[in-house]
């Protein structure tokens, strides 16, 4: 059996779609995907990743994921880190894995994110 990744989902607070768009589209350059009509009333957003999708689902009560996280690839970790820092998001470089240029940050809701340069 071979498994692939269709999408990953992160939680977000209700009514914060504009903050999510500003982060995922504005800072990181992802394209927003249209959610199916039957799912729109639930809130949240979908975005296009290379080869998969990122879904943000409304969770009430909301609590950010501080340990569980997606590992997102970026062609230029330095540039991505600079864009996040310029927008006020934390950047913590990590050298625990040899030969992997990577850092951690957070989305606007405090969810942990890992960025890796191939």
> With 90 as the cut, is the pLDDT of residue 118 above it?
no
Q: What is the DSSP string of the chain?
A: ------EEEEEE-TT-HHHHHIIIIIIT-PEEEPPPHHHHTT--EEEEETTEEEEEEE-SS----SS---EEE-S-HHHHHHHHHHTT---EEE--STT-EEEEEE-TT--EEEEEE-
**Would you say residue 113 has pLDDT above 90?**
yes
Q: What's the structural domain count of the chain?
A: 1
Q: Residue 88 falls within a domain, yes or no?
A: yes
Q: Is the pLDDT of residue 10 over 90?
A: yes
pLDDT confidence of residue 50: 95
| CATH for 13 | 3.10.180.10
Residue 49 domain flag: yes
Position 19 in a domain: yes
pLDDT digits (tens, 9 = 90+) for 57-86: 999 999 999 999 999 999 999 999 999 999
Does residue 111 surpass a pLDDT of 90?
yes
- What was the pLDDT predicted at 1? 87
């Amino acid at each position: 059996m071979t498994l692939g990744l269709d999408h990953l989902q992160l939680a977000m607070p209700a009514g914060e779609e504009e903050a999510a768009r500003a982060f995922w589209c504005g800072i990181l350059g992802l394209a927003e995907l249209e959610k199916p009509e039957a799912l729109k009333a639930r809130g949240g957003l979908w975005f296009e990743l290379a080869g998969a999708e990122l879904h943000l689902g409304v969770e009430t009560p909301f609590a950010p994921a501080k340990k569980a996280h997606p590992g997102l690839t970026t062609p230029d970790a330095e540039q991505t880190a600079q864009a996040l820092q310029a927008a006020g998001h934390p950047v913590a470089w990590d050298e625990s894995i040899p030969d992997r240029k990577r850092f951690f940050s957070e989305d606007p809701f405090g969810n942990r994110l890992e960025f890796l340069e191939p």
